[in-house]
């Protein structure tokens, strides 16, 4: 396994992050346990979850599964850099969602209980919340850090200017601020290259891409259809919209003898500011297969072809002005 610092911190995390969103709704508790055990065997020490995962309001299904896995012992908790998120609806009463000092406190306490741990390594805001001032947000999160319940703070689905705003406000308070940003980023969705990636590079914020395979679109979907596997209605629409690119993409992957999913992950590992893409295996086979991405070295020629198939963005303002 390869490891990297999380952003500008000295915290070492695996270059693949185990996403747990499937645990509960798709993957059984027993299979989830097996996947997490196998992840540790592979050296994956970075696990990501969220209080809303499981999609049963207020129940924190996925966090409970992880907590029960930790409770087995065997230094499982000590081996894991645990990231979770808050923001989503956890109830129907006021202040059971979004970001304010009350919900920050209550959401953290509830996650700690479900996860059966007394601290969270990386506590992430699941989305930007424009109604909250940064003074209020940082007061709420600073208290959790002071209490030892949270070690680092991250964000998710922020824009570049939010990263700047958040960390400048933290700097004025002599607080470490954001150390990571979890964002949509893959070959077919490169919008973050305009402003977010440059901002994260400048502030030492590690980028944790979610949906690295574009919801399966980059996972060899054309070949799977040819083999008789049906795609969902949404995927069929995405294929129709991107078929020409996908044909070139899968042909390129065949030419270098690699699986498309692994090439998509390997490409992200070459990108500036990226710490670890989130892999969300539903099965053990998917987890084991993803490790190949760490071994793939993409040549300049292949990288150029990928840019031709999936054009990216130059940083602003060069991307649209002289």
Residues 34-54: b if buried by 16+ CB within 10 A, e if exposed: bbbeebbebebbbbbbbbbbb
CA distances to 22, 53, 61, 78, 88 from 64, rounded to whole Å, are 13, 10, 5, 17, 17
For residue 166, how far is the Cα from the chain centroid?
19
Residues 125-153: b if buried by 16+ CB within 10 A, e if exposed: bbebeeebebeebbebbbebbeeebbbbb
* Alpha carbons 267 and 9: distance in angstroms, whole number: 23
H or E segment and range at residue 160: helix 160-172
* Alpha carbons 180 and 12: distance in angstroms, whole number: 13
User: Annotated catalytic residue: which of 3, 53, 152, 185?
Assistant: 53
* Alpha carbons 139 and 72: distance in angstroms, whole number: 35
H or E segment and range at residue 11: none
CB 276 within 8 A of CB 17: yes
* Alpha carbons 198 and 105: distance in angstroms, whole number: 32
Active-site residue, 123 included: no
For residue 141, the SS3 value is helix
Longest CA span, the chain:
59
**Positions marked active-site:** 53
């Amino acid at each position: 396994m390869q490891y990297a610092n999380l952003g500008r911190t000295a915290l070492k995390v695996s270059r693949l992050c185990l996403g747990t969103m499937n645990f509960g709704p798709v993957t059984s508790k027993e299979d989830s346990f097996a996947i997490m055990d196998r992840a540790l065997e592979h050296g994956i020490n970075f696990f990501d979850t969220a209080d809303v995962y499981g999609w049963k309001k207020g129940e924190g299904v996925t966090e409970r599964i992880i907590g029960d896995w930790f409770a087995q012992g065997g230094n499982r908790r000590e081996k894991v850099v645990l990231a979770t998120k808050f923001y989503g609806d956890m109830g129907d009463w006021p202040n059971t969602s979004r970001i304010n000092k009350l919900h920050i406190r209550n959401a953290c306490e509830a996650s700690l209980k479900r996860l059966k741990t007394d601290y969270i390594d990386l506590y992430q805001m699941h989305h930007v919340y424009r109604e909250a001032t940064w003074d209020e947000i940082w007061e709420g999160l600073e208290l959790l850090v002071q209490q030892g319940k949270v070690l680092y703070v991250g964000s998710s689905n922020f824009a570049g200017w939010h990263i700047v705003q958040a960390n400048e406000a933290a700097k004025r308070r002599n607080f470490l601020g954001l150390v990571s940003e979890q964002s949509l980023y893959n070959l077919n969705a490169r919008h973050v290259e305009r402003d977010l990636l440059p901002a994260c590079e400048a502030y030492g914020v590690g980028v944790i891409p979610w949906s690295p395979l574009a919801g399966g679109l980059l996972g060899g979907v054309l070949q799977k259809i040819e083999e008789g596997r049906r795609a969902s209605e949404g995927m069929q629409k995405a294929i129709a919209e991107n078929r020409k690119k996908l044909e070139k993409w899968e042909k390129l992957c065949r030419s270098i003898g690699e699986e498309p999913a692994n090439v998509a992950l390997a490409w992200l590992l070459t990108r500036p500011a990226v710490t670890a893409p989130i892999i969300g295996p539903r099965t053990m086979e998917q987890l084991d297969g993803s490790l190949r991405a760490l071994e793939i070295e993409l040549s300049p020629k292949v990288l150029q072809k990928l840019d031709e198939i999936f054009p990216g963005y130059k940083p602003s303002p060069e991307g649209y002005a002289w």
